[in-house]
Chain A
Amino acid sequence: MENMFHMQTLLIVAAGAVATYLTRVGGYVFITRMKRIPPRAEAALNAVPAAVLTTLVAPAAITGGWDVSITMAVAFLVGLRLKLLPMLAVGWVVVMLLRRVIG
């Protein structure tokens, strides 16, 4: 048990699970009680996913080293045309080539 689970990790996972469940029922509970969301609040909510996820991309792309920066740039171009999985595959191939062949 001690080797399989750490107390702090368990607590974080439990709290994260509760928080996630609340987001899944929250909208239903909210909307069935409310008539209308203020437009600016809706615009802000609408921006949440892109805003949060960008913060996990930009620092890595800029400070992660030249190989990561080039890979991200290529993956971005690929992402304009292709879906998520091909984009991941291309990103992986590019970074492996850069590291094995050049780096």
Chain B
Amino acid sequence: MTPDTKEEIRDAFRRGIAVAIAASPFAVLFGAVSIDNGLTVAEATLMSATLYAGASQLVGVELFNHHVAPWLVVLSIFAVNFRHVLYSAAIAPHIRHLTFWQKATSLFLLTDPQFAETERRADAGLRVSYIWLMVLGFSVYVPWLCLTVVGGLLGNLIGDPRAIGIDVLLPVYFMGLVMGFRSRANWLPVVLASGVGSVLAMHFVGSPWHVSLGALAGVAVAALLPLDKEDEAPVGTVAEGEA
């Protein structure tokens, strides 16, 4: 093992553990919420192992409880994870030197923090090697699995989620994610369109459909609004959104 490789492993592990600590409440939360929504500990763990995408796992589990059509659950998971398309497109130049199987395996571990750390390393002019990607990924993946089991076992002990207040954690968590995107172009009109759209769809159409119909409203607004040119200020978007 060269000193360079050792340094890569150490860097990836250190960063991965930091991410794992930050993500740990969500792994426990996912485990607990899964049990609350009728999944078994084994099913929750399998979901963590194969999807390995926190937000979409929570969305999927939330929909299980609403007795939503299976294809709609899968479509919702796909929709929430759609951002990964942009991530893998963005990191393409940094991982082009990898072999086919190296790309195929390291992309399985592509999450929001994995993406952010990869971009940061490439920005710093450092090489994004296969070993670095895999150590970073697995030092998040393994704790994620273990804490899902812990959360699931705790969830079995918890009776009524309202009594200990975990029922609000999910909507607050999603709101936090939505707010995290607030520097993006047309964020306010998109959020308002999706918010109003989903509440109206919930009222007039019914539970599972508010997700796709509301999301469609937001995406349509983004596609139709004036495009955000770099050399001109984004005029009028806020006024339109609040009208």
Chain B residues with Cβ below 8 Å from A46 are 86, 184-185, 222
B205 CB, min distance to chain A CBs, angstroms? 12
Chain B's closest residue to A6 (CB) is: B43
Which of A4, A5, A28 is B89 in contact with, Cβ under 8 Å? A28
Using known A-B contacts A9-B43, A24-B84, determine if residue A43 contacts B225 with beta carbons closer than 8 Å. yes
**Interface of chain B, helix or strand or loop or mixed?**
helix
Known: A51-B215, A84-B176. A28 touches B40 (CB 8 A): no
* Beta-carbon nearest neighbor of A80 in chain B: B179
The smallest beta-carbon distance between A63 and chain B, in angstroms, is: 7
Contact B194–A50 (Cβ < 8 Å): yes
Contact with B along A27-70 (1 / 0, CB 8 A): 11011100000011101111111111111111111111000100
Cα separation A92 to B53 with both chains bound (whole Å): 23
List the one stretch of B6-14, B70-78, B120-128 in contact with chain A.
B70-78
Known: A23-B85, A23-B88, A84-B173. 19 other contacts (CB 8 A): A16-B50, A17-B51, A19-B77, A20-B53, A21-B108, A23-B82, A26-B88, A40-B227, A47-B222, A51-B222, A53-B177, A54-B194, A55-B210, A56-B171, A57-B178, A79-B176, A88-B169, A91-B169, A99-B162
List residues of B whose CB falls within 8 A of some A CB.
22, 25, 39-43, 46-47, 50-53, 55-56, 59-60, 62, 64, 70, 73-74, 76-92, 95-96, 103-104, 107-108, 110, 162, 164-181, 184-187, 190-191, 193-199, 202, 210-211, 213-223, 225, 227-228
